[in-house]
Structure 1
Amino acid sequence: MGENGGMLALVRLRRGVVGESRRVCHLIPVPAGPVPSHLTALCGEAIFPGEAEVLDGLRGMPCHACLVESAPSGPGFLANAG
């Protein structure tokens, strides 16, 4: 879930927009109101119209910064990790 419990979209920059090593899957909060001029991934990356494809499921290399930003905060969430 995105900020304030909203939906998140999984998007990946299209081939040719960036090099293959930068074509990671970003998490983007879906705006509730009017569509803005660009969307901003949880990591801060600006995504402009036509630059990305919306994915229908988990695939490809994730953006690590987006994953970190999407992790729940608070004590005990990662206490038993690894």
Structure 2
Amino acid sequence: MRGHEAVMTRSAYLSAMGENGGMLALVRLRRGVVGESRRVCHLIPVPAAGAVPAQLTALCGEAIFPGDAEVLDGLRGMPCHRCLMESAPAGPGLLANAG
């Protein structure tokens, strides 16, 4: 993969909160970057205001370069199961303990 400039708008951010209290963005790798079966929707902690880093890391650990991904403005597409598990609250009887 290669690094590119990113264009992220505040309206495209998912209003979910990460464990560190930060917002999460829902992103998907663009067509042609990976095969269709790998174009899942990842959750990425939104960087602090200012420059977007050269590489973002999804909750699942996947490295994503901003120009290689599209920021989604809502829930759509196949979710990354690992990102979902990492974003689920921990506690007795909750999804995070299902695995």
Q: TM-score range by the shorter chain?
A: 0.7 to 0.9
TM-superposition CA deviations, 1:42-75 (whole Å, max 9, x none)? 0000111310000000000000000000000122
**What is the count of residue pairs matched by the alignment?**
82
C-alpha deviation, 1:81, in angstroms: 8.9
Cα pair distance change 1:48/1:8, threshold 3 Å: same
Structure 1 position 60 matched with structure 2 position 77: yes
SS, match of residue 50 in structure 1: helix
Normalising by structure 2, what TM-score?
0.73
Structure 1 ranges of 4+ moved more than 6 A: 79-82
SS, match of residue 44 in structure 1: coil
TM-superposition CA deviations, 1:19-54 (whole Å, max 9, x none)? 000000000000156422210000000111310000
Q: Distance in 1 between matches of 2:96 and 2:87?
A: 17
Which runs of 5 or more structure 1 residues have no equivalent in the other structure? none
Output the aligned Cα RMSD.
Answer: 2.6
Q: Distance in 2 between matches of 1:46 and 1:5?
A: 21
SS, match of residue 36 in structure 1: coil
Cα pair distance change 1:22/1:75, threshold 3 Å: same
SS, match of residue 43 in structure 2: strand
Identity over aligned pairs, percent: 90
Normalising by structure 1, what TM-score?
0.87
TM-superposition CA deviations, 1:2-31 (whole Å, max 9, x none)? 131110000000000000000000000001
